[in-house]
Amino acid sequence: MTVYGYSERKFAYVPVKTYSGKHIWFRYYIRTNEITLRFFGKKFLGSKIEYKRFTELEWTLELIKNEKP
């Protein structure tokens, strides 16, 4: 199960590579941490935290994609 934790909007003063592989510069981007929880049945096996960067449009699409109905 993947959960997005803390996210913040930052400005790229130097070139920054996003999660999709795009390089952005002098634009805003979203920096977030993704927490992956691993379970086996009811037993918790562990978690992994990974930092990702998205453009503002990619972040909006990511939120829509992970929205629960």
What percent of the chain has a predicted confidence (pLDDT) above 90? 48
Cα–Cα distance, 27 to 61 (Å, whole number): 18
Extents of the domains making up the chain:
2-65
The predicted-structure confidence for 43-53, as pLDDT tens digits, reads as follows 888 888 888 99
pTM: predicted TM-score of the whole model, two decimal places = 0.74
- Are the C-beta atoms of residues 28 and 11 closer than 8 Å to each other? yes
Cα–Cα distance, 54 to 51 (Å, whole number): 10
Q: Residue 59 to residues 7, 43, 44, 56: CA-CA distances in angstroms?
A: 10, 31, 29, 5
